[in-house]
Structure 1
Amino acid sequence: MSPGRKRGILIGAALAVVAIVVAAVVLLVKEDQAPAATGGPGEPTGTAQESPARVAARFLRQFEAGDLNTAPVDDPPAATAALSAARGALTPTAVEAALGEVPTTPGEATSTSATFHASWTFKGTSVWKYEGKLDLVRNAGKWVVRWAMSVIHPKLEADQWLSVAPVSAKPVVADREGKALVGGDAAGVAPILQGALSKVASEQNGGTGTPATVTVSRVDASGKPVETLFGQAEEAGQPLVSTLSVASQSAAQKAVDGLQGSAIIVAMKTSGDLLAVAQNAAAGNQPKALSGLYAPGSAFKIATATAALQQGGVSADSPMACPGSEQIRTRTLMNENGFDLGTVSLKTAFAASCNTTFGRLAGQLPADGLAKAASQLGLNADFEIPGLATETGKVEPSSSADEQVEAGIGQGKVQVSPLGAALMAATVATGKPVVPKLWQGLETNVNAGYQAPPAGVLNQVRAMMREVCTTGTAKALKGSGNVFGKTGTAQFGSGADANGWFVGYRGDVAFAVMLEGANDSEPAVQLAARFLAG
């Protein structure tokens, strides 16, 4: 290539580069003069002036912050003073304002408007929401918000102010006497059931939503209320009503919370209405009270006695041997601490909780004898209570004679929940099948029902359960009124540890107490006394 041609190419390339740079600079200048794309609806193009949409959005950001001194408003001092007074009166925990619609504004326009969505959050999680309006005008060639009290709320007029007052929120769920279980002043009541109660309430008509904890009103210059803007009583629907009792629930919860080990109490009316479901922190967050299955130990002797009285040809007064230990089939049973009563009545053997007596009686029953009696007491029933997952128990026909001997004293494969144990006591007390309920107006679905034992049998079982609480293993309850019940100690795992039980009723209240790893029934009896006293 000749030097002249080479020089011409270089000069042409240089001129092309210069042209590109100049074009880029011109483009950047134009983009810098154009309004931002995020200005919102109604923002004009082709002008360096802030659009009404951008001005409104900037104003609302400072409205949220509570300081309008540097906001695009025609009277910053008045605006800041009014907004500060409103926030000081309402004491919100948060204020949010989102730009709504901004109409397209012609270039020659001198006024326009914009809507926005306001949200004030108060302590207690009440949220006041409304739609507001901003009037915008040109002031010295720039768009600004025209200040008025209606900027804070569209109904607020000159010489009017906002006022807040706490309200006693209606409960979302109430107990059988109208006291709050969820919402209202229900803090700490029925903690293990809060999720279930709230979930069912949210599904039922009249039980949805969170009641307002405050009312917001506009008042005149003298402080006289003009209108309530938020928190009217009608906003809270009628509460859903539970069968629970705040008094019973509080007594049960207080009783279990006083213990370090895992403790559970379930109480119900003998009609089936649940009154209290309580377990302490050591029992965990799952509702073991309603669906946890455990060996019931000697508390199951209620079922064994029921079976023997029906099928074994004995009565409560029949003489029974109660040796300290006895080999039955291939199992060797021992009474606690090896006590030996000789020959006593069945009622006395029951009161003293003679393992040898009841192991022998169980071994003499048909293979399905204990399962039939357990079913008559509700331990194989199946219910669907709205909001709750429940199990009552699992007692099947014995597959061997040895297994039946173990079942006779509530060990082996026999399993019962605290709910099922309370149901068993309620069935003895009332003499009828019992359907557990948590709600007034919402029915429990019975998937598998049952029929109670004959009245003549239950009369004898009641007398035996009363003897337990007067002269037997629960005589510490003599000062707790006319209590009927049965103690139980049930080994689990390797057999080194045992759960303690007391199952019984007083008047029209049946209940079950279970202490995991207590290794004795005495603490369960003490807990029952504490609950009954409460």
Structure 2
Amino acid sequence: MTWRRWVLVGGALVVVGILVVAVVVLKSGSPDGTADTAASREQADVVARYLSAWSHADVKTASALTDDPPNAAEGLLKARTELGVDPAATVVKTAGKTANFRVSWTFAPGTVWTYDNSLSLVQAQGKWVVRWAPSVIHPQLFGGAVLRVLGHSGNAVLDRDGKPLLAWQADQPQAVDGNFAPILTPGLGRVATEKAAASKTVVIRIGEDDKVLFGRPAGPPLTSTLSSRVQAEAQTAVDGASFPAMLVAIQPSTGDILAVAQNAAAGPAPNALTGGYAPGSTFKMATATAVLERNAASSDTVLPCPGSVQIGQRNIPNDDNFSLPPLPLHSAFAHSCNTTFAQLASGLPADALVDAANQLGINADFTIPGIATEAGKVVAPANSAEQVEAAIGQGKVQTSPFGLTLAAATVAAGKAITPRLWHGLDTTINTPYQAPPDAVVGQLRSMMREVVTDGTATGLAGSGNVAGKTGTAQFGDGTQANGWFTGYRDDLAFSVLLLGSNSSKPAVSVAAAFLR
């Protein structure tokens, strides 16, 4: 800007012109007009580097950018250890030797503690550094105050009857009984930990007094659907098996998972929930569903049961090539006549077995908090050979003990089942299904009951009103086979799988031991 001033020099008036340049405005790069000098740039750089290092758990670098590295390192590390997570600290505004910033601690999705703070800069040995004080971590952290996270105590997870399964120890959920459901305990603990993180309570503690800064006290323990009694019986039953053994139990009326057990020989992987195995003749539940629903036969239709049958390029034998005189479909089901069901399946549409498997939940998919599950996989056969193999639970058909238990529970309930592991935490249905029509379900129940009263599972005849289906499924080069039993009694559905047993009889024995 130019302006004039008249002055008296030697008796004469002289005009003096002065040009003033608004240096502050032109050189200012900050919102409040602070000059963007080399010093201000260095100050802003120190603040940014300090907050970045703190946000990335780089305590060494962050503390080195302060005027008291030893105490800064101790304070930053203590806060990180106590809170259990790293902060996200971002600059809001830097004005010379003062910086405002925002801190966020994310304990769990949707559980974020956010607050604003400030820091000051001082010079030390010719460089700008953060003036250290505990209040740089939180504005109320001074005068001997310390940050604390209130720990969890008492029970973390209960069974359906209120019996403790996991308890808090050193803020970690630990199994009350170290032998309880080793397949499930890690998942139970993960869910308990996630829910505990969502109820973090951060306090400022001065002496004996606590002031809550964030959060709320932890809620009551989580309640699972598991039954300690049923789980113990399932584990005892599989532990008594001479082969790798698995057992899954579900309550049909609710979908509650009651027990998941494997013996040591079955290994630590949760194959009872996710393993894919040929179901053998247990899959005749699906084949019978397809036959009945498509009106290919009724349960009373008399059909042949030869020792073997040639269908296209595939020879289908009965177990040990047994043969029976022509008999009703329900009896062929009870005695597990492969040849009867293979012949029926050869006349069905290509999608019939897939549709039936869908109706029993074998192709359903769920997300259950704490565990992964895989019910099974049944796809449309590419040719007639695959069709007849699928009809007797061989070829490309796969199920898990979990998936077959879901199928048995569907028959018992007469409706689609949503399996769940928690009371109060929902299961997400990714691939839904719809149960077979009531008329079909009614015939299936009768046929499955006959398996126990007059068929391949008479070893369960003294175990109450049990209904089910046996299965023997070859694997590998065909010289070995797994043994199955799946079924239900009253409001209890279950499946037993014995690997390499070469017969379904050991699976029936394990089922009997479980039901006792």
TM, length-normalised to structure 1:
0.62
1:442 aligned partner, one-letter code: L
In the alignment, structure 1 residue 400 sits paired with structure 2 residue 391: no
User: 1:186 maps to which residue?
Assistant: 177
Secondary structure of 2:462's aligned partner: helix
User: Counterparts in 2 of 1:75-474, with a 5 A limit?
Assistant: 170-183=154-167, 185-205=176-196, 238-270=220-252, 271-474=254-457
Task: Give the Cα separation in 1 of the matches to 2:312 and 2:302.
Answer: 22
2:209 is aligned to none
Q: In 2, distance between residues paired with 1:516 and 1:208?
A: 44
In the TM superposition, residue 173 of structure 1 has moved relative to its aligned partner by 0.9
User: Which residue of structure 1 lines up, in the alignment, with residue 483 of structure 2?
Assistant: 500
Once the 2 structures are TM-superposed, how far is the Cα of residue 338 of structure 1 from its aligned partner? 1.7
User: Following superposition, which runs of at least 4 residues in structure 1 exceed 2 angstroms of deviation?
Assistant: 183-187, 205-209, 234-238
Instruction: Say whether the 8 Å CA contact 2:243–2:265 is kept in structure 1.
Output: yes
Cross-structure match for 1:480: 463
Distance 1:386 1:423, change over 3 A: same
In structure 2, how many angstroms separate the alpha carbons of the residues matched to 1:262 and 1:235? 44
**8 Å CA contact 1:503, 1:511 repeated in 2:** yes
Q: Which residue of 2 aligns with 1:528?
A: 511
The code of the aligned residue for 2:394 comes to: Q
What secondary structure is seen at the aligned counterpart in 2 of 1:490? strand
Q: Deviations over 1:108-145 (max 9, x none)?
A: xxxxxxxxxxxxxxxxxxxxxxxxx9xxxxxxxxxxxx
Alpha-carbon offset, residue 305 of structure 1: 0.3
Q: Is contact 2:284-2:341 (8 Å) kept?
A: yes
Whether the 8 Å contact between 1:385 and 1:445 is mirrored in structure 2 is yes
Q: Is the 8 A contact 2:199 2:217 kept in 1?
A: no
**Residues of 2 paired with 1:235 and 1:405: CA distance?**
60
Shift of 1:205: 4.0
| Greater displacement, 197-206 / 381-390 | 197-206
Decide whether the 8 Å contact of 1:207 with 1:240 is kept in 2. no
Structure 1, unaligned stretches of length 5 or more?
A: 1-132, 134-168, 210-233
Q: Relative to structure 1, is the Cα distance of residues 255 and 235 closer, same or farther in structure 2, using a 3 angstrom cutoff?
A: farther
Deviations 1:285-331 (A, max 9, x none): 11001110100000000000000001143111110100111111211
Give, as a single letter, the amino acid of the residue that structure 1 aligns with 2:178: A
Contact 1:201 1:207 in 2 (8 A): no
In the alignment, the residues of structure 2 paired with residue 337 and residue 207 of structure 1 have an alpha-carbon distance, to the nearest angstrom, of 59
Aligned-partner residue type, residue 427 of structure 1: T
Question: What is the CA–CA distance in structure 1 between the aligned matches of 2:154 and 2:233, rounded to whole Å?
Answer: 23
Instruction: Please give the alpha-carbon distance, in whole angstroms, between the structure 2 residues aligned to 1:304 and 1:171.
Output: 46
Percent identity reads 57
Instruction: Provide the secondary structure at the position in 1 that maps to 2:440.
Output: helix
The offset of 1:258, in angstroms, is 1.8
CA spacing shift, 1:300–1:208, aligned 2, 3 Å: farther
Deviation at 1:343, TM superposition (A): 0.3
The CA distance in 2 between the partners of 1:170 and 1:355, in whole Å, is 55
Q: Which has the higher strand share?
A: 2
* 2: CA distance, partners of 1:347 / 1:473: 13
- How far did 1:388 drift? 1.1
1:201 positional shift: 0.6
- Deviations along 1:340-389, one digit per CA (max 9) or x if unpaired, are 11100000000000000011111111001100000000011110001111
SS class of match (1:480): coil
Q: Offset at 1:339?
A: 1.5
Alignment-mate amino acid for residue 156 of structure 2: V
Is the partner of 2:183 in helix, strand or coil?
helix
**Letter matched to residue 247 of structure 1:** R
CA–CA separation in structure 1 for the residues paired with 2:224 and 2:198: 12
**Cα distance in 2, alignment partners of residues 203 and 310 from structure 1:** 45
Describe the superposition over 1:224-253 as per-residue Cα deviations: whole angstroms up to 9, x where unpaired: xxxxxxxxxx99862111000000000001
1:170–1:236 contact (8 Å) kept in structure 2: no
Report deviation, 1:417: 0.7
1:236-279 CA-partner distances (Å, limit 9, x unpaired): 86211100000000000111112242100000000210000000
- Name the counterpart of 2:208: none
Deviates more, 1:442-451 or 1:331-340: 331-340
Structure 2 SS opposite 1:267: strand
Bigger radius of gyration among the two: 1
Deviation track 1:32-72 (CA, whole Å, cap 9, x = no partner) reads xxxxxxxxxxxxxxxxxxxxxxxxxxxxxxxxxxxxxxxxx
2:196 touches 2:218 (CA, 8 Å); kept in 1? no
For residues 176 and 430 of structure 2, the distance between their equivalents in structure 1, rounded to whole angstroms, comes to 36
Q: How far apart are the structure 2 equivalents of 1:487 and 1:194?
A: 30
Separation in structure 2 between the aligned mates of residue 516 and residue 195 of structure 1, nearest angstrom: 24
Shift of 1:335: 1.1
Equivalent position of 2:109 in the other structure: none
Aligned partner of residue 182 in structure 1, secondary structure: strand
